[in-house]
Structure 1
């Protein structure tokens, strides 16, 4: 008796495979509406960042157009992004850059 097996390619594509524990990031984007002082305030109030760190991230948003403000599990990053939207900031979730 001959067993037939389906012709399945079981290799995974490294570009599309994601480890379940891979980190995600919350990114805040520059916008023409919010004042730099307000963005600093939000970072201090919501994330609890010291003033120096909040200002550094705010300057990164202003100068580079974006800043990663948190790293962790996807669900937590989605909560941070929703909170940023609640403050009127533009933010998104993305996969953490690979080292």
Structure 2
């Protein structure tokens, strides 16, 4: 029967500092903005082609929200702020795994 050795108590492991996953900018449906305006914002701010902007706008309209960008937290925070500046409802979230 093999004996297990005691753990090295000088070894420090911080599992809470595991690498973070990508972050997302989520735009939510609201009762104020027209679908054409939301499409315009997606084209103007993100540079999406018309078809992509319309697809994302329809997801916002029909599903209640759409993920419009993914990446580093700082960049997604800037996108959320920009969406607020355009008058859209947007939040930041960590990508579900």
- Normalising by structure 2, we get a TM-score of 0.82
Q: Alpha-carbon deviation of 1:20?
A: 3.2
Query: What is the aligned partner in structure 1 of residue 5 from structure 2?
Result: none
Query: What is the aligned partner in structure 2 of residue 3 from structure 1?
Result: none
Q: How does 1:5-84 map to 2 (within 5 A)?
A: 12=15, 17=16, 19-84=18-83
Aligned residues: 87
Q: Alpha-carbon deviation of 1:51?
A: 0.2
Instruction: State the distance in 2 between where 1:18 and 1:58 align.
Output: 36
Are the counterparts in 2 of residues 36 and 58 from structure 1 also a CA contact under 8 Å?
Answer: yes
After TM superposition, the runs of 4+ consecutive aligned structure 1 residues lying more than 3 A away are 17-21
Instruction: State the distance in 1 between where 2:17 and 2:41 align.
Output: 32
Pairwise CA RMSD: 2.0
Per-residue CA deviation, residues 39-98 of structure 1 (Å, 9 max, x unaligned), is 000000000000000000000000000000000000000000000000000000000121
Query: What is the aligned partner in structure 2 of residue 86 from structure 1?
Result: 85
Instruction: State the distance in 1 between where 2:18 and 2:28 align.
Output: 26
Instruction: State the distance in 2 between where 1:56 and 1:66 align.
Output: 12
Structure 1 gap ranges (5+) = 1-5
